[in-house]
């Protein structure tokens, strides 16, 4: 695309000026403006195949699909290198890393200086959200990574369309350089005051596809606080019942905890008259409409999701979808040049692992695919994409679900007593860490609303922001929690998960309609075993009962741990939320 050049629109002019300024600092050999066309994508991948950045997969069985292998030290989001840069530390709170904006600016300026010399700089204007939507936003990412340029075409609406949507409220600016992939100088810095992101020394999607976590969550959450809406780490789905009625719900689950699987769930045989329509698998922007209903849009245009454990058995819809126009990252490669990962099924006789080494099951160390290996696929080619995906006003949300990996304690599914109690549920989320972020896997940590790594401001204020919606609407969604990850004594999952999670969604839909039965417990309304049972489901009653059990002693301990966490969040923590915690404690005490 030719640079927008002389333009009477002053916002477009300022975007071009800003890109020129960045080029003056980073000094690339040339600047290429991306238009997001298929032709451009073909050229980018052709160049990357030629220089070994991408491996062409079997074009008969995987047309237009490629494999990217990242640096072995750069395979997940780096939370320790992620900073929110403001003047005052208290603005970001204790769940974020803070860097003073002055110090960060100076540090980044030094790292950026001349960092693109010898390279091309891609300038990528992008639009997040539906066309002509009052909720959509424009950003521009400049990067010296062709892998990022090609992936951005999948993840966002790139090119003229973005420039055409530029409005008076400006655009988010993102600068990314692979640098020397120096882990000591890896920084993902966010400057909410300037709507600016600077990402250095990584080439891993979550750190460098700046439209995703950096713009759509960290910066957008700050805008949402200031403007009275929500930017959340949530999937959005439409659940269609056998009569064709569709209920839209959101689900906040931490990274690599099943959001993509739930979004693309194929109903099991015993529920084949139901369906699940995808709107988003990762991010929701929610605005109250004049009637007080939250309407949600997906800012993204593609999936950047975890591959391992996806199979024809667990999720045939995903397996079919990724067979075209997909960039895989860090999966294994079989000798017929098709991708492979753990949990896909029988492994072929010979494989190359995610680092390109020969891998023989049972003999070679480690896994063949990296546990955080990914596919990047355009959302449009998903056959069950909701027709409402493009609705500029978003879809009306009836329920919100919180969830995450808890091998113990948290019941399979249950409902909160109120909006405030639902916020407590979300704020209390403690989940087992996954490979999506660098660091130890399987360690319990607080991940309120699945936003611990993504809330761009003080989490205490964030809870206050959620609470503030009570006075603005009497049509707020019902709030639920679900946990398909409970383990039995033998260490195996008690609940079959995947497609069977539709049973839980059905209960949620029916609860919202006042139909499904529940018993009141101190943690919320828990289903009766009868209300979950469906002909053909095949899960024994005793197992369902165990999955729904509320373990009093363990919960009391959980509430104490939560109190310590809340207290650690300081003065700004909302009293109303502490009162919700007190009420839950009293509910347990009164059982004794
Ligand atoms: C993601 C994540 O990639 O949450 O969606 O890490
Ligand atoms: Mn995510």
Taking alpha carbons only, the member of 89, 105, 153 closest to residue 126 is 153
Quick one: which atom of ligand 1 is closest to the CA of 205? 3
* 482 Cα to the center of ligand 1, angstroms: 19
Whole-number pLDDT of residue 2? 72
Task: Return d(Cα 247, Cα 275) in angstroms, integer.
Answer: 11
Task: Return d(Cα 192, Cα 496) in angstroms, integer.
Answer: 42
Query: Would you write out the chain's pLDDT as a tens digit for each of its 592 residues?
Result: 777 765 668 888 999 999 999 999 999 999 999 999 999 999 999 999 999 999 999 999 999 999 999 999 999 999 999 999 999 999 999 999 999 999 999 999 999 999 999 999 999 999 999 999 999 999 999 999 999 999 999 999 999 999 999 988 899 999 999 999 999 999 999 999 999 999 999 999 999 999 999 999 999 999 999 999 999 999 999 999 999 999 999 999 998 888 999 999 999 999 999 999 999 999 999 999 999 999 999 999 999 999 999 999 999 999 999 999 999 999 999 999 999 999 999 888 889 999 999 999 888 889 999 999 999 999 999 999 999 999 999 999 999 999 989 999 999 999 999 999 999 999 999 988 888 888 889 889 999 999 999 999 999 999 999 999 999 999 999 999 999 999 999 999 999 999 999 999 999 999 999 999 999 999 999 999 999 999 999 999 999 999 999 999 999 999 999 999 999 999 999 999 999 999 999 999 987 7
Ligand closest to 234 (CA) is: 2
Task: Return d(Cα 124, Cα 136) in angstroms, integer.
Answer: 17
Task: Return d(Cα 453, Cα 254) in angstroms, integer.
Answer: 9
Taking alpha carbons only, the member of 189, 171, 187 closest to residue 179 is 187
Quick one: which atom of ligand 1 is closest to the CA of 436? 6
Taking alpha carbons only, the member of 236, 259, 237, 255 closest to residue 484 is 259
**Residues 6 or more apart in contact with residue 166 via CB below 8 angstroms:** 9, 11, 12, 15, 138
What the block records as the tokens of 401 is 């679900």
Task: Return d(Cα 541, Cα 25) in angstroms, integer.
Answer: 65
**How far is the first Cα of the chain from the last one, in angstroms, to the nearest whole number?**
70
Burial per residue of 513-528, b for 16 or more beta-carbon CB atoms within 10 angstroms, e otherwise:
eeebebeebbbbbbbb
Tell me if residue 532 falls in helix, strand or coil: helix
What the block records as the tokens of 432 is 């087992």
Ligand closest to 235 (CA) is: 2
Helices (H), 439-540: 459-468, 501-512, 529-532
* 306 Cα to the center of ligand 2, angstroms: 10
Whole-number pLDDT of residue 248? 99
Whole-number pLDDT of residue 300? 98
Residues with CB under 6 Å of ligand 1 are 77, 206, 255, 282, 304, 436
Ligand 1 pocket test, candidate residues 211, 218, 255, most atoms within 8 A of CB:
255
Write down the pTM of the prediction: 0.97
Whole-number pLDDT of residue 7? 63
What the block records as the tokens of 35 is 């238009």
Tell me if residue 559 falls in helix, strand or coil: helix
**Residues 6 or more apart in contact with residue 224 via CB below 8 angstroms:** 230, 231, 285, 465
* 232 Cα to the center of ligand 2, angstroms: 10
* 263 Cα to the center of ligand 1, angstroms: 14
Do 343 and 314 meet the contact criterion of CB atoms below 8 Å apart? yes
DSSP symbols for 159-215 = SHHHHHT--TT--EEEEEE-TT--GGG-EEEEEGGGTEEEEES---HHHH-TIIIII
Q: Whose CA is nearest to atom 4 of ligand 1?
A: 255
Task: Return d(Cα 203, Cα 154) in angstroms, integer.
Answer: 16
Q: Whose CA is nearest to atom 1 of ligand 1?
A: 255
């Amino acid at each position: 695309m030719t640079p927008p050049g002389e333009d009477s629109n002053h916002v477009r002019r300022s975007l071009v000026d800003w890109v020129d300024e960045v080029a003056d600092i980073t000094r690339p050999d040339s600047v290429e403006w991306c238009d997001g066309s298929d032709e451009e994508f073909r050229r980018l991948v052709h160049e990357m195949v030629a220089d070994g950045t991408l491996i062409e997969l079997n074009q008969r069985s995987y047309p237009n699909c490629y494999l990217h292998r990242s640096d072995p030290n750069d395979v997940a989001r780096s939370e320790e290198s992620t900073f929110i840069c403001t003047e005052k530390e208290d603005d970001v709170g204790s769940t974020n890393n803070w860097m003073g904006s002055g110090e960060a600016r100076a540090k980044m300026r030094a790292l950026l200086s001349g960092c693109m010399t010898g390279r091309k700089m891609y300038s990528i204007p992008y639009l997040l959200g539906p066309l002509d939507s009052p909720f959509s936003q424009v950003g521009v990412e400049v990067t010296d990574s062709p892998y990022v340029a090609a992936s951005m075409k999948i993840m966002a609406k790139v090119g003229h369309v973005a420039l055409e949507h530029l409005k008076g409220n400006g655009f988010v600016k993102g600068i990314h350089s692979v640098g020397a992939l120096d882990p000591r100088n890896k920084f993902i810095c966010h400057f909410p005051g300037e709507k600016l992101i600077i990402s250095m020394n990584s080439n891993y999607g979550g750190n460098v596809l700046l439209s995703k976590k950096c713009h759509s969550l960290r910066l957008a959450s700050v805008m949402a606080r200031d403007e009275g809406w929500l930017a959340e780490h949530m999937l959005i789905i439409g659940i269609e019942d056998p009569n064709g009625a569709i209920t839209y719900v959101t689900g906040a689950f931490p990274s690599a905890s099943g959001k993509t699987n739930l979004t693309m769930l194929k109903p099991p045989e015993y529920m084949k008259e139901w369906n699940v329509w995808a709107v988003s698998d990762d991010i929701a922007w929610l605005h109250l409409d004049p009637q007080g209903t939250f309407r949600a849009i997906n800012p993204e245009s593609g999936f950047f999701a975890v591959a391992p454990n996806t199979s024809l058995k667990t999720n045939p819809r995903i397996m079919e979808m990724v067979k075209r126009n997909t960039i895989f990252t860090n999966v294994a490669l079989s000798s017929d040049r098709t991708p492979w990962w753990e949990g896909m099924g029988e492994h072929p006789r010979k494989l190359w692992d995610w680092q390109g080494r020969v891998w023989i099951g049972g003999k070679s160390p480690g896994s063949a695919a990296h546990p955080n290996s990914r596919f990047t696929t355009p959302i449009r080619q998903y056959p069950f994409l909701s027709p409402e995906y493009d609705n500029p006003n978003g879809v009306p949300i009836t329920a919100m679900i919180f969830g995450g990996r808890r091998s113990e304690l948290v019941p399979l599914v249950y409902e909160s007593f109120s909006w405030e109690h639902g916020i407590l549920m979300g704020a209390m989320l403690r989940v087992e860490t996954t490979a999506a972020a660098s660091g130890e896997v399987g360690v319990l940590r607080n991940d309120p609303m699945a936003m611990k790594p993504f809330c761009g401001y003080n989490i205490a204020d964030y809870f206050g922001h959620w609470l503030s919606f009570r006075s603005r609407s009497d049509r707020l969604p019902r709030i639920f929690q679900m946990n398909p990850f409970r383990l039995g004594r033998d260490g195996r999952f008690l609940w079959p998960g995947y497609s069977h999670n539709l049973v839980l969604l059905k209960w949620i839909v029916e609860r919202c309609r006042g139909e499904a039965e529940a018993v009141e417990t101190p943690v919320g309304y828990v289903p009766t075993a009868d209300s979950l049972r469906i002909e053909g489901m095949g899960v024994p009653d005793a197992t369902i009962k165990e999955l729904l059990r509320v373990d009093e002693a363990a919960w009391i301990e959980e509430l104490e741990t939560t109190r310590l966490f809340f207290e650690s969040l300081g003065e700004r923590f909302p009293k109303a939320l502490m009162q919700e915690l007190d009420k839950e404690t009293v509910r347990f005490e009164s059982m004794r």
